[in-house]
Amino acid sequence: MRALLRDGRARFGLAVLLGMTLLAICAPLVSTIGPTEQRDVVVTRFLAPFTTDVHGVLHPLGTDRLGRDVWARLVHGARISLGVGALAILISTALGIGIGAIAGVWRGGIRAALLGLTDFALALPRVVLLLLLAALWRPSALLVVIVLGLTGWMSVARLVYAESRSLMARPFVDGALALGAAKGRVLTRHIVPNAVTPALVAAALGFGNAIMLEAGLSFLGIGVQPPAASWGSMIASGRDTLVNAPWVALAPGVALVLVVVAATLVGDAVQDWRGA
Amino acid sequence: MIVTMARRLLIQLLRGIAVVAGVVTLTFVLLRLAPGDPAERLLGPAATAEQVAAQRAELGLDEPLPAQYAAWVARVARGDWGTSIATGRPVRELIGAAWPATVRLVGLSLLLSYLIGIVIGAIQAARGGTALDTALSVTTVTLFAMPGYWLGLVLVMVFAYGLRALPAFGAAGLDADFLSPGARFVDSLRHLALPLATLTLIGIGGTARFVRASMLELRRAPFITVAESKGIDGRRILFQHVLRNALIPVVTLLGLSLPALFSGAVFVEAIFAWPGVGRVLVEGVQARDYPVVMAATSISAILVVAGNLLAELGAARVDPRLRSSEAG
């Protein structure tokens, strides 16, 4: 862990993720006004960043077309974006490691079935599925977590499977098998611990991806429902006011890019650290 | 050796057909489970229950699900994709009209992002650890982290609203029909610029990062040390040994990125009002236009399976180890 912290990328990435998490947790403390609070819409809408409105409230990132404070919505939206991303990636990483490693160790029917399942899941048009599911059930954060978790494990599974296959061809696995180790033991003692690095790396990337997709769903209006703030719905609402109030769409986008970059850098650092 | 390769391809092909069948069946079931009825949407809120029932009978929606499914499969087997419920036009015509726009956008961005991405990744690996490498890394990771719909908005903000240099939406200007062939071509290029830039920039980020990482990892491989100790020229090692081997996973990535690109195109087509398959699909889902959604889903599933098959073939072509019998 200390070696990992010596890496500048990891320090930056972890600092951003930690800072954003803290902001999300302390959202009511760091914002002067509620995320959905509206006063006199006519005089408080489209205020530029760093202006104080007629009520004496400072808006560090300005206001949107309903006069809501963009900074307050940003930090409250972070709760949803980060929470959904973390939960979704927990589900998909666990599924991916399990499926990938089992398919790598056992040949024959089990492998064919699991690889078939992975191919099948990969071939599902994710966006269509999301559109259909959102039409089936009332859109909610929980639905987004489940759908993203269940449709995001394939890349982890593929990487873990490839790693397991190459590990199975290594002499130390042959040795363990020749000494009479059961396949279950090989799986848990030799394959999973060695295959966990690509899974971690994929998880870090997947975290960023899940956050992006959550925002994408909210952007299309089938994710988190208004008036609750989510980065995606904030970008969507800022889309119509790009010309006269660009900060409404820019602020959540920058936050989103920052978090995804941070997650990616942490993933890179973990990869190099384990590979070194 | 060739026999085993052919056998594996046959197995892949059979598996691919099973995948397509599964995707189509799942979509069919999910579509029918979803609330909302095309007959109601077609007739509007003023329709009486009898009118809706009559319309449903006319569309064949009153039959039991398995019978509807069998009828759909039988029609498709004869090459008939049905008629769009919402627009009354044949589905083949709808998709046929939208298809070229998506292929132009996705195909070009695939080509550009892989070409540019491989070059950038190779430069970074050759200059590993220098300021240039760091600067390019910061750029590619930022591009990689950008959601397509947001990057699209930013580009529109800068180039369409700010500089007023490029059109913000559509595939052709309103006056396109009255332009000379040359001017019409320029007009279509100008409309293509922003959506293509959006998809390509994001693709470059991913490809360059991937190529850089796999090249740097390969440089530590024992066979590279051997080549270096034999005194082979560093540049030759980089291109003939490192880059060539680093391209193996890139070929696989290429096959796997087809469906992601298709999904990405759905968002980008929505932002830029690009008249492609993605937009037909989203509009089809919203209107519960069953035949249209089924056709678009089938095509995207076939695309994915074909991508996987091509990736397998391509990987076997660049990596002889995958052609050996034991690899399976």
Question: Nearest C-alpha of chain A: how many angstroms from B173?
Answer: 21
> Which residues lie closer than 8 Å to A176 by C-beta, 6 or more apart?
A185, A186, A189, A190
Q: Are A259 and A82 in contact (CB under 8 A)?
A: yes
Q: What single-letter DSSP state applies at residue B232?
A: -
**How far, CA to CA in Å, does B318 sit from each of B225, B242, B312, B313?**
22, 13, 10, 9
What DSSP letter does each residue of B112-141 carry, written as one string?
Answer: HHHHHHHHHHHHHHHTTTSHHHHHHHHHHH
- pLDDT attached to residue A258: 92
Cβ–Cβ below 8 Å for B22 and A235 = no
Pick among A127, A136, A264, A270 to test the B interface (most B CBs inside 10 A)? A127
- pLDDT attached to residue B322: 63
Is the omega angle on the peptide bond into residue B320 within 30 degrees of 0, that is, cis?
Answer: no
What DSSP letter does each residue of A83-136 carry, written as one string?
Answer: HHHHHHHHHHHHHHHHHHHHHHHS-THHHHHHHHHHHHHHHS-HHHHHHHHHHH
Give just the sign of the alpha carbon dihedral B132, B109, B159, B165: positive
Beta bridge partners of A52: A58
Residues of B in contact with A158 (CB under 8 A): 256
Give chain A's mean pLDDT: 81
Closest by CA to A200, choosing from A94, A84, A82, A103, is A94
In this structure, how many other beta carbons lie within 10 angstroms of the beta carbon of residue B79? 7
Give the span between the Cα atoms of B141 and B244, in whole angstroms.
24
- pLDDT attached to residue A99: 92
Mean pLDDT check: name the lowest of A10-19, A120-129, A239-248: A120-129
pTM for the structure as a whole: 0.78
Q: Are A124 and B21 in contact (CB under 8 A)?
A: no
Question: Nearest C-alpha of chain A: how many angstroms from B74?
Answer: 22
Strand pairing class (A58-59; A51-52): antiparallel
Tokens standing for A193?
A: 């611990």
Taking only Cα atoms into account, the Rg of chain A, rounded to an integer number of angstroms, comes to: 22
Cβ–Cβ below 8 Å for B19 and A123 = yes
What DSSP letter does each residue of B152-212 carry, written as one string?
Answer: HHHHIIIIIIIS--S--SSSS-TTGGGS-HHHHHHHHHHHHHHHHHHHHHHHHHHHHHHHH
Q: Is the ipTM of this complex over 0.95?
A: no
Dump pLDDT digits (tens) for A144-191.
888 888 888 888 898 888 888 888 888 888 888 888 888 888 888 888
A275 pLDDT band (50/70/90 cuts)?
Answer: low
Smallest CA–CA distance from A246 into chain B, residue: B157
Cβ–Cβ below 8 Å for B147 and A216 = yes
- pLDDT attached to residue B2: 60
Percent of chain A with pLDDT strictly greater than 90: 8
Instruction: Give the B window 101-160 contacts with A, CB below 8 Å.
Output: 141-142, 144-147, 149-150, 153-154, 156-157
**Burial class of residue B37 (count of CB atoms within 10 Å of its CB; 0-12, 13-18, 19+):** middle
CA A80 to chain centre: 11
Please report, in tens digits, the pLDDT of each residue of chain B (328 residues total): 566 777 877 887 887 888 788 888 888 888 777 776 777 777 777 778 888 888 878 777 777 888 888 888 888 888 888 888 888 888 888 888 888 888 888 889 988 999 999 999 988 888 877 888 888 988 998 888 888 888 988 888 888 877 877 887 777 776 767 778 888 888 888 888 899 999 899 889 888 988 888 888 887 788 888 888 888 887 788 777 888 888 877 877 777 777 667 767 777 888 888 888 888 887 887 777 888 888 888 887 787 778 777 777 777 777 666 665 444 3
**pLDDT value at A136 more than 70:** no
- pLDDT attached to residue B326: 43
- pLDDT attached to residue B327: 41
**Burial class of residue A66 (count of CB atoms within 10 Å of its CB; 0-12, 13-18, 19+):** middle
